[in-house]
């Protein structure tokens, strides 16, 4: 039983440290707002179609048949 009490006290102490750390961040750190500029190419604004994700290449949509290959006939 003393080991369980020691574990609970240790976990409570660690939780208290986390709480004090979060409080210190809130009290002493002031965020600085900065303007954000994102350039969007005109072709993306006027092109239409699927939106392109950053870092990905645009691929043509795949065409499929009206009937799946596994459908019974």
Give the Cα-Cα-Cα angle 27, 33, 39 (nearest 5 degrees).
150
pLDDT of residue 10: 97
Give the Cα-Cα-Cα angle 3, 22, 36 (nearest 5 degrees).
145
Q: Is pTM beyond 0.75 here?
A: no
Residue 37, Cβ density class (10 Å: 0-12 exposed, 13-18 middle, ≥19 buried): exposed
In DSSP notation, 6-21 reads: HHHHHHHHHHHHHHHH
Over residues 7-66, the pLDDT tens digits come to: 999 999 999 999 999 999 999 999 899 999 998 888 778 876 566 567 766 555 555 555
């Amino acid at each position: 039983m003393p080991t369980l009490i020691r574990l609970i006290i240790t976990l409570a102490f660690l939780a208290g440290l986390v709480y004090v750390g979060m409080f210190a961040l809130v009290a002493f750190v002031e965020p600085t707002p900065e303007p954000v500029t994102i350039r969007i190419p005109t072709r993306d604004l006027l092109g239409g179609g699927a939106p392109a994700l950053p870092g990905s290449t645009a691929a043509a949509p795949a065409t499929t048949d009206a009937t799946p290959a596994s459908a019974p006939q």
